[in-house]
Amino acid sequence: MTLTVERATNVGPPAADVLLDVRDLRTYFHVMDGLVKAVDGVSFTIKRGETLGIVGESGCGKSVTSLSIMRLLDIPPGEIASGEIWLDGQDLLTLSPEEMREVRGNDVAMIFQEPMTSLNPVFTVGDQITEAVVQHTRMSKKEAWNKAIESLRLVGISNPERRVKQYPHELSGGMRQRVMIAMALSCDPKLLIADEPTTALDVTIQAQILELIRKIQDETDSALMLITHDLGVVAEMVEDVAVMYAGRIVERGTVEDVLVRPKHPYTEGLLTSIPSKGMRGSRLNVIKGTVPNPFNMPKGCNFAPRCPYRFEPCGAYDPRIEDAHPPDVACWLYTPAPGQTSAPRQSGPERQAGPMTTGAPT
Amino acid sequence: MSKFIIRRALGLIPLLFGIVIISFVLMKAAPGGPAQQFQRNPRVTQTQIDEWLKRWCLSADASPAAAVKEFAGWFGIYNCNTESIFSEKGGLNFLPSSLGGGGNGIIHGDFGYSIDAGRPVLEMITERMPATLMLTSIALILWVSIAILLGVVAAIKRYSFFDQAVTFFSYVFYSLPIFWLGLMMIFLFAVTLRILPPQGIVTPRAWPPFNTDVYWAAFGRNPIGAIIDIGRHLILPVTVLVLANVAGDSRFVRASMLDALNQDFVRTARAKGLPNRTVVMKHAFRNAMLPVVTNVALEIPFLFSGAIVTETIFSWTGMGLLFIDGVGARDYFLLMGILLITSAIIVIFNLVADVVYAVVDPRIRYD
Amino acid sequence: MAETMRPAETTELGVGPLVPPQLPLAGEEDFEIQLESLNQWQLAWRRFKRHRLALIGSVAFGLIVLIAIVAPILWPYDVTDIPGAKTYGGDAPGLAPLSRLFGTDFGGRSVLQQVLVGARISVEVGVFTMLIAASLGVAVGSIAGYFGGMIDGFLMRFVDLLLAIPFLFVILVAARFFGGGDVVTLILIFGLLSWPGLARLVRAMFLSLREMDFVQAARAVGVSDLRIAFRHILPNALGPIVVSATLIMANAIVLEAFVSFLNFGIRATDVSWGNALSNSQGYLLNGNWWWPFFPGMAIAISVISVNFMGDGLRDALDPRARE
């Protein structure tokens, strides 16, 4: 009975076609009541020009993952306890603060959730875009200003010559998010991280902004890491998806696999908790219980207390996605638990055509 | 912009009028009328008293009608000589004298006569004003700059030794009564160490009294010596004012700066790869200063209160000390004059703060 | 809860006899987390206890209040009772070994005794001024903020007016013209002039809280105006109000000392810290630093302990504050 399963340990930089390689990232927060393991051993890769969606409830660690990649966490109370973040051949966690600053905004750019508060109210839109350009390129102020106008035009803002001189409060929410995108694109980043880019916007604007991000991602060849709680957005926007729960990735795969044949009970729960037309009249399925208390994580599988399929090993042993073959799900239903010879299931239950499948990438 | 200023300025007129009424009510409510008070001063002759009483429609009559007449005369709408709202020249009395109006009342700059000194109040105030303005403006500039410096550094180096030291001293100086602090500093630096003069604006005997013609003549002969002399006298009162006010304001700046540093746009600025200095000093600082501007404007009244306290302790012959002397002598006209003028200055500073705020915060629309 | 699913005896490594746990049927169990439920005041007290400075401040102020109550009874002090005079009654009984701890003043009287007995007037002025100003401020502010419209416009213009006149100027004029040297008048003057800032604060809190969903909800189910104001809005505004009230108290203590120091306050025959400072001022240049030093320190300590208390109360009474 072996408890430690051999894990494929990568050493050195990843293959050249891999843009971002996050390996066993652990980000902790030291707070008054103890230690919160916000990200607890997360690994994933994004190839050049590809798209990855990270899905999960609020508090699952998806935003902390992105802030760890940008190294934008406040330290203390935050701490990147271990792991490697390889971007374009260099491990970001080994860079000096100055070197990291060169990466930020230049190689990786980020779009935040709150366009209303993410722009500085006392500077014009143009000032805020040119600032980044001047910082990372050799452009003069004048050239950078023109670049700002150009990127505003690129994100579909009409009359950019006038808009560039305006202050954020003079723009609508959707317009501000376009400005954020223009700002992120202004230095042609290799990786674009969008953290819930549409959550704060009106439903009608959401589609426009997503469409814009997808268009831009197509046109430039930057990779996209999209963080969202909305499975509909994932289905529309990305090729690969990783589902996070309580600081871990619990399932990953292509959008088709994960959304049509979810393996992990949590993913399944997420999918069945979305109302659809066919379900009218029946009760909406909800995932019982709440996200575990970070100071009192359940023993064994983190999801076990809420899981409808839990069985003996779930309360005792902690399933790791790395232990699965192939490593696409962290669940004892699919991987033989210690002391067991076989796993109860081989593949995920096929879902009936629900809202997600109709919205799958076309 | 000018429209905005004019609109705001017009809005202040009712406020100023309210202050005038409150001052008058205070004066009327005080026991023992001005007539009685004038008689206390042996230097003032009965003819003068009669003349003054007539000029401001002061009478022993306590009827409401008399009070209204008195107020109108004191304010300058009513002419007490012609006993009508018209002046001797026939024009409406509240108009400027050059346009046929009268010369009495505060709207004509006539604040009455000091009971104690028998001199025009306005003359006495303007004589004392420079000393107070010198003291308070130097203190204000120093205290605001020091508070901003300490507050910003404390916020950036939050929880550091420096931050905790600033917090500790803020608490101490915020709680020490400043008049007591002044006394102790006089004892330490003037009595024990004998390195600074204990009181006054200029060294008596070496220099004539400050802001007199003789003084300015002496000043012209030896400007450097005069400035050094005043400078030495300024150190203690300015230090007391600065210490007392930096305490609270550095906490305010620190809180405001911390608030700004926690804003989303600061994270955006960092995500752009800007150097830390740009993020802090441009993005956070500019936003943190917005509430500080308002706060400083709101503190202008306390500046005058502070001047009263420091001027008393350090025998600084400015308006504050004039006011204290006036309170002691129950010098109504003098007190009301000072009250009105300082209130007007405060109100004007609030307007200035409004305008400055509108300039620094693009979110405020002023067109 | 989670406990039920754990194998009965598992070691650190998770190895142990695998006892089939009793699994409840999926969906049957309710996973609500049991939170210790404490009411607002219990939570506030808990947070207050954690604020070390606030505790120190409260203990110190408690002691000062105690001194203010007992000192004038135990060691009655009479300014005319000067050593050497025929009527001199000797050192205050019970205080004798310590009576010269802070030195003696120009009349040979114990400075310590003056400091102890003087606490009464400062505490009286502080506490009662605060009570008057806080009641007025809360009343005016909540009326203006809750009803809005004309009432608000009128009340706030009046508040603006009072705030535009330099506070200390009016205090001094009023103390000189209407004071007459007794504590009650002084408290009335301070109290009646100290409330406008608090009223403005309360109004602002009401204006923002009035629009909050929980107030709208209360209104929707027909809760009366008065009940909404006192049960729903005021508790949420309590933190800033209390802090502001403690500031008023601290200010009043300093103000009394200053006004008395200028001889416009408490009559010279009463013992107050301000009077003690006033008497000593002329002698400072002779080097008698301890006359003003100890009364001044007494003022400073009272003020600092009140401020600490206010700080702790602000943190404790913030309903959004977490543990």
- Whether the Cβ atoms of residue C60 and residue C119 lie closer than 8 Å to each other: no
Of A72, A97, A122, the CB nearest to B271: A72
Q: Do B166 and B79 share a domain, yes or no?
A: no
CA angle A302, A353, C28 (to 5 degrees): 40
The DSSP output letter for C23 is P
Q: Beta-strand (E) ranges in chain B?
A: none
When pLDDT is cut at 50, 70 and 90, the band that residue C40 belongs to is: low
Question: Rounded to whole angstroms, how far apart are CA atoms A307 and A328?
Answer: 18
Under the phi-then-psi rule, with left for phi > 0, alpha for psi from -120 to 50, and beta for the rest, what region is B275? beta
Amino acid code (one letter) for A332: W
Tokens of C4: 């039920």
Question: Rounded to whole angstroms, how far apart are CA atoms A281 and B151?
Answer: 60
Q: Do B339 and B191 share a domain, yes or no?
A: yes
- Which of B81, B108, B135 delimits the end of a domain? B108
Residue B12 domain-assigned (yes or no): no
Of A149-158, B94-103, C139-148, the poorest mean pLDDT is in B94-103
Residue-level pLDDT at A356: 45
Q: Residue holding tokens 């109108």?
A: B72
Kindly list the residues from chain A whose CB atom is less than 8 angstroms away from the CB atom of residue C6: 299-300, 315-316
Q: Residue holding tokens 């004589």?
A: B127
Q: Do B171 and B312 share a domain, yes or no?
A: yes
Question: Rounded to whole angstroms, how far apart are CA atoms A181 and C186?
Answer: 63
Is A3 in Cβ contact with C14 (below 8 Å)?
A: yes
Q: Is C291 helix (H, G, I), strand (E, B) or coil?
A: helix
- Residue with the bigger pLDDT between C154 and C113: it is C154
Residue B96 domain-assigned (yes or no): yes
Question: Rounded to whole angstroms, how far apart are CA atoms A125 and A129?
Answer: 6
Q: Do B134 and B258 share a domain, yes or no?
A: yes
Q: Do B158 and B205 share a domain, yes or no?
A: yes
Residue-level pLDDT at A210: 85
When pLDDT is cut at 50, 70 and 90, the band that residue C191 belongs to is: very high
Q: Name the residue in chain A with its Cα closest to that of C1.
A: A305
Residue B1 domain-assigned (yes or no): no
Chains in touch with C (3+ beta-carbon pairs under 8 Å) read A, B
Residue B9 domain-assigned (yes or no): no
- Which of B108, B130, B163 delimits the end of a domain? B108
Q: Is the pLDDT of residue C147 over 60?
A: yes
- Residue with the bigger pLDDT between A322 and B125: it is B125
Q: Do B311 and B349 share a domain, yes or no?
A: yes
Q: Do B185 and B267 share a domain, yes or no?
A: yes
Question: Rounded to whole angstroms, how far apart are CA atoms C164 and B141?
Answer: 22
For residue C28, how many other CB atoms are within 10 A of its CB? 8
Q: Is C219 helix (H, G, I), strand (E, B) or coil?
A: helix
Q: Nearest CA of chain B to the CA of C155: how many Å? A: 13
Question: Rounded to whole angstroms, how far apart are CA atoms A208 and C104?
Answer: 83
Chains in touch with A (3+ beta-carbon pairs under 8 Å) read B, C
- Domains in chain C, please, with CATH? 53-72+100-316 (1.10.3720.10)
Is A299 in Cβ contact with C2 (below 8 Å)?
A: yes
CA angle B345, B349, B355 (to 5 degrees): 150
Average pLDDT over residues A28-39: 81
Angle between helices B178-185 and C290-317 (to 10 degrees): 140
Q: Using a CB–CB cutoff of 8 Å, tell me whether B356 touches chain A.
A: no
Residues 6+ apart with CB under 8 A from C258: B177, B179, B309, C265, C274
pLDDT in tens, A206-246: 888 888 888 888 888 888 898 888 888 888 888 888 888 88
Q: Name the residue in chain B with its Cα closest to that of C278.
A: B180
Q: Indicate the burial class of C287 (C-beta count within 10 angstroms; 0-12, 13-18, 19 or more).
A: exposed
Chain B to chain C Cβ contacts (< 8 Å): 123
Residue-level pLDDT at C37: 55
Bridge partners of B113? B120
Residue-level pLDDT at B322: 92
Q: Using a CB–CB cutoff of 8 Å, tell me whether C163 touches chain B.
A: yes
Tens-digit pLDDT profile for chain B (367 aa)? 778 788 878 878 888 888 888 877 877 776 666 666 666 667 777 777 777 777 767 765 666 777 777 788 778 788 777 777 777 777 777 777 777 777 777 777 788 788 778 788 899 999 998 999 999 999 999 999 999 999 999 988 888 889 888 888 888 888 888 888 888 888 888 888 888 888 888 888 888 888 888 889 988 898 999 999 999 999 999 999 999 889 888 988 998 898 888 888 888 888 888 888 888 888 889 888 888 887 887 787 778 888 888 998 899 999 999 999 888 887 878 888 888 888 888 888 878 877 887 777 777 665 5
Residue B289 domain-assigned (yes or no): yes
Q: Using a CB–CB cutoff of 8 Å, tell me whether B270 touches chain A.
A: yes
Tokens of C190: 């301070």
Average pLDDT over residues C242-262: 90
Residues 6+ apart with CB under 8 A from C15: A1, A3
**Long-range CB contacts (within 8 A, 24+) of A7-13:** A7/A320, A7/A322, A7/A323, A8/A322, A13/A86, A13/A89, A13/A90, A13/A91
* SS3 sequence of chain A: CCCCCCCCCCCCCCCCCEEEEEEEEEEEEEECCEEEEEEEEEEEEEECCCEEEEECCCCCCHHHHHHHHHCCCCCCCEEEEEEEEEECCEEHHHCCHHHHHHHECCCEEEECCCHHHHCCCCCCHHHHHHHHHHHHCCCCHHHHHHHHHHHHHHCCCCCHHHHCCCCHHHCCHHHHHHHHHHHHHCCCCCEEEEECCCCCCCHHHHHHHHHHHHHHHHHCCCEEEEEECCHHHHHHHCCEEEEEECCEEEEEEEHHHHHHCCCCHHHHHHHHCCCCHHHCCCCCCCCCCCCCCCCCCCCCCCCHHHCCCCCHHHHCCCCCHHHCCCCCECCCCCCCCCCCCCCCCCCCCCCCCCHHHHCCCC
Q: Nearest CA of chain A to the CA of C4: how many Å? A: 9
pLDDT in tens, A179-208: 888 888 888 888 889 888 887 777 788 888
The DSSP output letter for B98 is G
Residue-level pLDDT at B131: 92
Kindly list the residues from chain C whose CB atom is less than 8 angstroms away from the CB atom of residue A3: 13-15
CATH number at residue B270: 1.10.3720.10
For residue B225, how many other CB atoms are within 10 A of its CB? 13
Residue-level pLDDT at B145: 94
Nearest Cα residue to A317 out of B195, C13, C171, B284: C13
Question: Rounded to whole angstroms, how far apart are CA atoms B131 and B151?
Answer: 30
Of C13, C14, C31, the CB nearest to A306: C31
Number of domains comprising chain B: 2
Q: Do B257 and B281 share a domain, yes or no?
A: yes
Average pLDDT over residues C301-323: 77
Q: Residue holding tokens 């700046």?
A: B253
Is the bond leading into A326 cis (omega within 30 degrees of zero)? Answer: yes
Q: Do B28 and B144 share a domain, yes or no?
A: no
Tokens of A130: 């040119």
Residues 6+ apart with CB under 8 A from A239: A50, A51, A52, A254, A255, A361
Q: Is the pLDDT of residue C19 over 70?
A: no
Kindly list the residues from chain B whose CB atom is less than 8 angstroms away from the CB atom of residue A117: 263-265
Q: Name the residue in chain C with its Cα closest to that of B326.
A: C173
Q: Is the pLDDT of residue C128 over 90?
A: yes
Question: Rounded to whole angstroms, how far apart are CA atoms B287 and B292?
Answer: 9
Question: Rounded to whole angstroms, how far apart are CA atoms C42 and C247?
Answer: 24
Q: Using a CB–CB cutoff of 8 Å, tell me whether C55 touches chain B.
A: no
Q: Do B188 and B322 share a domain, yes or no?
A: yes
Chain A to chain C Cβ contacts (< 8 Å): 60
Tokens of B357: 């705020």
Q: Domain containing B317: what range? A: 121-360
Question: Rounded to whole angstroms, how far apart are CA atoms C227 and B158?
Answer: 42
Residue-level pLDDT at A358: 38
Is the bond leading into A76 cis (omega within 30 degrees of zero)? Answer: yes
How many residues are recorded in chain B? 367
The DSSP output letter for B139 is H
Tokens of C65: 């209040």
Q: Nearest CA of chain C to the CA of B313: how many Å? A: 9
Question: Rounded to whole angstroms, how far apart are CA atoms C130 and B111?
Answer: 36
Residue B133 domain-assigned (yes or no): yes
Is C23 in Cβ contact with A311 (below 8 Å)?
A: yes
Is A311 in Cβ contact with C2 (below 8 Å)?
A: no
Percentage of chain A exceeding pLDDT 70 = 90
Q: Using a CB–CB cutoff of 8 Å, tell me whether B135 touches chain A.
A: no
Query: What are the backbone angles phi and psi of residue C59, rounded to the nearest 5°?
Result: -65, -45
Bridge partners of B59? none
CA-CA-CA-CA torsion for C121, C127, C128, C131, nearest 10 degrees? 170
Strands A240-245 and A248-254: antiparallel
Q: Nearest CA of chain C to the CA of B54: how many Å? A: 25
Is A289 in Cβ contact with C15 (below 8 Å)?
A: no
Q: Is B164 helix (H, G, I), strand (E, B) or coil?
A: helix
Model confidence, pTM: 0.79
Under the phi-then-psi rule, with left for phi > 0, alpha for psi from -120 to 50, and beta for the rest, what region is C27? left
Q: Mean pLDDT, chain A, as a whole number?
A: 80
Q: Do B186 and B320 share a domain, yes or no?
A: yes
Q: Is the pLDDT of residue A310 over 50?
A: yes
- Whether the Cβ atoms of residue B58 and residue B35 lie closer than 8 Å to each other: yes
- Which of B64, B82, B108 delimits the end of a domain? B108
Q: Nearest CA of chain A to the CA of C33: how many Å? A: 8
Tokens of C130: 């605060």
Nearest Cα residue to C313 out of C99, C108, C101, C51: C51
Residues 6+ apart with CB under 8 A from A279: none
Average pLDDT over residues C81-99: 58
When pLDDT is cut at 50, 70 and 90, the band that residue C87 belongs to is: low
Q: Do B174 and B248 share a domain, yes or no?
A: yes
Residue B55 domain-assigned (yes or no): yes
Residue B18 domain-assigned (yes or no): no
Of B264, B272, B287, the CB nearest to A114: B264
Please list the alpha-helical segments (H only) found in chain C: 40-50, 52-74, 111-147, 149-164, 167-174, 183-194, 196-210, 213-220, 225-227, 234-261, 273-281, 290-317
Strands A51-55 and A240-245: parallel
Is A120 in Cβ contact with B265 (below 8 Å)?
A: yes
Residue-level pLDDT at C283: 75
Residue-level pLDDT at C9: 35
